[in-house]
Each structure stands twice: as C-alpha cells, then as structure tokens.
Structure 1
C-alpha cells in the first residue's frame, strides 16, 4: 500500500469517525430510562421492581462492542506512533483523539487501512442497531438548483440528493416539481455534471460509495 492510498484511507476514516460521533450518543439514549415503554412491566426476578424498563440487550452489546473497539484502536494507533498508552476517556473523546492523529497515521499504510476498516465497521454496526437504513453523508459543494450546501450521498443507492425541502428544479419530469416530499436526485451517471456545476468532487462521491460496498463485503 502506498502513502497516497494511506492518505485516502485516513480521509475516509475521518468521515466514518464523524458519523460515529454523531450516532453513538443516540445508542446511549436508547438505554435511557423512559425510552421504549418504561412504564410497561418487564420480566424480573421475584422481589424486584417490575416497573423498570427492560434492558435492550442488542443495544447494550453494540455499545460494549464499539467502546471496546475504540479503546483497542486508540491503543494500537498510539503504540505504532510511539506515543504510549492513552489516558482513560469515554468512547467519543477517544474517537476525537484518534481523529487528531490521522495525519500521523498516514505515514503507516498498514495502520491506515486498519483504522479505516475498524471505524467503518463500528459506524455501520451503530447505524444498524439504531435502525438507520442509510446514512446520509455530506458532499462538498452547493446544489446547482438552490445554491444550498445540502448535497448528501446515499452510498448504498449510488445516489446524491439535495436535502433542502424547498429545492425545486426546472425538469418537468422530476418529482420535486409537484411533490414536496420528493428530493432532486443525481444517479451515478450524473455525478460528473453535478461536480462541474456544484464544485463537488466526483472522486469523493465514488469513495463514499466504495466505503459501503467494502464494508458489506468485510
């Protein structure tokens, strides 16, 4: 693996870290008292309070898996960079510290690939547990129709959309003209033109799509 490819890997890892930082707190909220019918009785041992909310084991397992994974990843990164063992911290703080070391990780291609694989795996497991069918990933550039920074990629669908609810195009065959719930979309064949008109990078869009397919194949 070349250093250039390693730089691509760390750039992609940074995106997955950003997604994980936004989604991980939602996992903790899923376990918070009062969520998902806390007043309903749960099956408990005799003599215990039957009015407490049942433990959502799949959420708890995911939190533990991601927390352990982040700890192990930060320790691996710091060991390779000769930085010693990290101070104790929660998962989000460790993720931010890993993100701060990505420039140095670029000099170690094998490590860069490992960081990408782990960040992608953890983010995708987090999304699955939350029931998120597709993560919207921000694309640089402005929508050619509404000039908003509202372009998002849906990697699994190989599509870019404008998420601005007020955006309307001039294509009479596009659903956004008459249906407020419809969003203007660009299929893969339209990415080059979209990049030219919006300032987006077609390579960035393709990279995000590749991330999804690589993650599913892993």
Structure 2
C-alpha cells in the first residue's frame, strides 16, 4: 500500500467535505439576496418559503420519485438533485462497505460530511487492505468529480513553469482550491502502478503540498512559485 493512494483519499475526501454543501445552496440560488424593487422585509420570508418547498420536493423526489407543486417556487434543478442523491447514496454505501471489510459495527445514521469524516478516521485500517483502499479512492474521486461537474467546476487553474518530471511536457498546472499541482497532459503516466493516471484516462498525476519542493527540483522551477500561484 503506497502513500500515494492514501494521499488521494485524503484529497478527494476534503474536496467533497468542502463542496458538497454547495449543492444544497445551488437548489435555491439567490437566497438571501433581495430582488431589486422588492419591498423591504418581504423577500427573506419568501426565500425561506421557497427553500423549504425545494427541500420538501427534493425529499419526496428522493424517496418516491415524485415532484410536488409549490406556490411560486422555481422548478427544482434536476442535475443538482440527482448529484445530491448519487453522492449521498454513494458515501453511505462506501462507509458501510469499509466498515464491513474492517469487521466494524454498522455505522449510525449521519449526514454526508460526518460520514466522510468517519471514513477518513479509518485510514489506518483501510491502508492495510490495498484493494479496499483503491476502491475507496476511486469512489471518492468519482463522487468529487460528480460534485464538481454539478457545480460547474470553476476551480481556478494557474500555469506552472518547468517540465513534468514524468512526461517532460510543459503541462504542470496549480489548482489553488486543492492545494495541488497536476500534470494535464493526457498521455502522462508515472511509474507508480497504484496511481490513477495508469488506469483512468480522465485522471491526472497529482503532487500534494508536501511534495512541492521535490517537484520544483525535478521540474526546474523555484519552489516559491507555487506559493504565489496558490494565493
């Protein structure tokens, strides 16, 4: 079991914990922002009502596949609600699978964020099972990408000088939200057989923050360049 897989698990978990709550906010865009010309004090109450209606509609949709009419509420955004349902179910199933493999009691009910934190707390046990670890990494990566797509994936990207140590192309990019550097060359493959770049065409080799000094030396740029890029 390599540290690479564990690092990936930690990164994808952190991404989901950070961005999953934004999906709920996207179901009711503009909440709390008064409409131009609306009488003072009327919009917040209506926004709360719309939010409650959308939450109820989402709950019914998740449970029964039903939609309910609301008084004046905008239609629910199906791609967002689908992403919420997929990630919620996926995280629940993943935690149950991890605990079953580690011979731990069935987990109690909890929200997505808490379940993700509980999975992260089991990393030492997961590390002892390479097949399980790879599965956890792949599922978290899939769900983090699903979340990013639903939100529009607007993470800023900064070009980094120097050449990728693996493919020798000028394809290094800094991603400030993830505090990571990726090689965006689709043909790049590293030598770590457990790295996702070797078996997933959409995956890109990644350097976390603790490996930036090593990357800077190998790629031929100043280590301080990444600190500036991440600001």
Specify the TM-score bucket, using the shorter chain as the normaliser: 0.5 to 0.7
Residue 176 (structure 1) aligns with: none
Q: Tell me: CA distance 1:54–1:199, structure 2 relative to 1, closer, same or farther (3 Å).
A: closer
Residue 30 (structure 1) aligns with: 26
85, 89, 108: which one pairs with 1:87?
108
- Once the two structures are superposed, the pairs formed by residues 1-218 of structure 1 within 5 Å of their partners are 3-4=1-2, 7-32=3-28, 34-35=30-31, 49-134=70-155, 152-153=179-180, 155=182, 157=184, 192-194=219-221, 197-198=223-224
Residue 141 (structure 1) aligns with: none
Q: SS in structure 2 opposite 1:155?
A: strand
Query: How far apart in 2 are the matches of 1:155 and 1:12?
Result: 12
Query: How far apart in 2 are the matches of 1:155 and 1:125?
Result: 19
Q: Return the TM-score normalized by structure 2.
A: 0.54
Q: Please report how far the alpha carbon of residue 157 of structure 1 lies from its aligned counterpart in structure 2 after TM superposition.
A: 3.9
Structure 2: unaligned runs, 5 residues or longer: 36-45, 48-68, 159-175, 186-214, 227-231
Q: Tell me: CA distance 1:64–1:81, structure 2 relative to 1, closer, same or farther (3 Å).
A: same
Query: How far apart in 2 are the matches of 1:127 and 1:33?
Result: 17
Q: Please report how far the alpha carbon of residue 110 of structure 1 lies from its aligned counterpart in structure 2 after TM superposition.
A: 0.2
Residue 168 (structure 1) aligns with: none
Q: Please report how far the alpha carbon of residue 116 of structure 1 lies from its aligned counterpart in structure 2 after TM superposition.
A: 0.3
Q: Please report how far the alpha carbon of residue 71 of structure 1 lies from its aligned counterpart in structure 2 after TM superposition.
A: 0.2
Q: Please report how far the alpha carbon of residue 64 of structure 1 lies from its aligned counterpart in structure 2 after TM superposition.
A: 0.2
Q: SS in structure 1 opposite 2:17?
A: helix
Q: Please report how far the alpha carbon of residue 192 of structure 1 lies from its aligned counterpart in structure 2 after TM superposition.
A: 2.7
8 A contact 1:134–1:154 mirrored in 2: no
Instruction: Name the Cα RMSD after superposition.
Output: 3.5
Q: Tell me: CA distance 1:114–1:136, structure 2 relative to 1, closer, same or farther (3 Å).
A: farther
Q: How many residues align?
A: 147
Q: Please report how far the alpha carbon of residue 154 of structure 1 lies from its aligned counterpart in structure 2 after TM superposition.
A: 5.8
Query: How far apart in 1 are the matches of 2:155 and 2:184?
Result: 9
8 A contact 1:136–1:153 mirrored in 2: no
